[in-house]
Amino acid sequence: MSRFDPGTITNRLAIQAGMKVNRQTILGKQAITDFIATHPEIFEKIDVDSLAGSEMQYGYTHQGALAKIGFKEKQIQRIVIESKIPEFTRYRLNVAYDGSDFFGFQTQKQGRTVQSELNRIFSDLHQYPTICQGASRTDTGVHALNQVVHVDSPYRFSREKWLTILKQKCPKDLTVTDIMPVHPLFHARYDVLGKEYRYRLNLSAYDPLERMREWTVDNVDCARLEAELRTVEGTHDFTSFSKGFKEDNIRTIFHTELLKQDSRVELVFVGNGFLHYMVRILVAQLVLIAKGKNLATISELLAEKSRKHTGKVAPPQGLYLAKVIY
* Catalytic residue set: 139
Q: Would you call 111 exposed, middle or buried from its count of C-beta atoms within 10 A (0-12, 13-18, 19+)? A: exposed
Helix (H/G/I), strand (E/B), else coil: 118: helix
CA torsion through residues 267, 269, 274, 278, sign: negative
Question: Cα separation of 186 and 55, whole Å?
Answer: 12
Question: Cα separation of 29 and 15, whole Å?
Answer: 5
Question: Cα separation of 186 and 91, whole Å?
Answer: 9
Whether 217 contacts 290, CB under 8 Å:
no
Q: Which amino acid is at 276?
A: H
Q: Which amino acid is at 184?
A: P
Question: Cα separation of 43 and 7, whole Å?
Answer: 9
Radius of gyration of the chain (CA): 22
Q: Would you call 151 exposed, middle or buried from its count of C-beta atoms within 10 A (0-12, 13-18, 19+)? A: buried
Q: Which of 126, 54, 50 is nearest to 87 (CA)?
A: 126
CA torsion through residues 150, 154, 159, 162, sign: negative
**What are the percentages of helix, strand and coil residues in the chain, rounded to 5?**
25, 35, 40
Q: Which amino acid is at 293?
A: K
Phi, psi of 72 (to 5 degrees): -150, 120
Cα torsion through 17, 22, 25, 26, rounded to 10 = -50
